[in-house]
């Protein structure tokens, strides 16, 4: 049995570089808008469950839930960004934020989307206005992704968590 060595070509390395450059985003819905966060920020996605409300907590905090023995604070992203509570039948996206596990309540998790950098517009000073958000949310929009005919609002989930929990 003969072993044949095949030399790698520059075309092969170009394909790998392109694959590595794709940004993986988890798309979810809040009302009529589609938002996204980076896949690498997500630990797990679970069905929405009833949260125990915390007295004196801001409206953005839906409450706390128990996830396999870990107490998780759940932020209602619909209340935070759109002023409307997320659906009770939605999902909770679990995000590792430093040493804490934090839940993000959304209406519906749609899919994972891989976008090349060319399909993502960097944030401009008025990105919040473009995305239909109030000016106080300007620091949470990291870009606007283009997928076919739709625009996806890419969020910095760690900035949102920091603003709500501080």
Q: What is the domain-level CATH number for residue 52?
A: 2.40.50.180
Range of the domain at 79: 23-165
If DSSP codes are grouped into helix, strand and coil, which group holds residue 165? helix
pTM: 0.79
Task: Note whether residue 14 is domain-resident.
Answer: no
Per DSSP, 96 falls in state E
Instruction: Please tell me the total count of domains within the chain.
Output: 1
Distance CA 57, CA 63 (A): 8
Task: Note whether residue 5 is domain-resident.
Answer: no
pLDDT digits (tens, 9 = 90+) for 129-155: 554 554 444 578 889 999 888 889 999
At residue 4, does pLDDT exceed 50? no
Task: Note whether residue 103 is domain-resident.
Answer: yes
Would you tell me how many other CB atoms lie within 10 Å of the CB of residue 16? 10
Task: Note whether residue 50 is domain-resident.
Answer: yes
Q: Is 150 within 8 Å of 34 (Cβ atoms)?
A: yes
For residue 125, the model assigns a pLDDT of 54
Task: Note whether residue 40 is domain-resident.
Answer: yes
């Amino acid at each position: 049995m003969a072993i044949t060595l095949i030399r790698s070509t520059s075309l092969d390395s170009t394909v790998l570089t392109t694959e590595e450059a794709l940004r993986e985003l988890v798309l979810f819905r809040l009302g009529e808008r589609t938002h996204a966060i980076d896949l690498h920020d997500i630990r797990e996605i679970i069905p929405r469950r009833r949260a125990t409300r915390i007295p004196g907590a801001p409206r953005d905090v839906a409450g706390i839930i128990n996830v396999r023995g870990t107490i998780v604070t759940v932020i209602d992203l619909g209340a935070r960004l759109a002023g409307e509570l997320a659906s009770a039948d939605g999902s909770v996206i679990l995000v590792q934020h430093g040493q804490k596990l934090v839940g993000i309540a959304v209406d519906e998790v749609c899919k994972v989307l891989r976008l090349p950098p060319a399909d993502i517009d960097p944030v401009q000073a008025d990105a919040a206005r473009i995305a239909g958000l109030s000016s106080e949310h300007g620091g949470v929009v990291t870009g606007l992704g283009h997928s076919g005919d739709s625009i996806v609002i890419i969020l910095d989930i760690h900035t949102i968590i920091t603003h709500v929990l501080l």
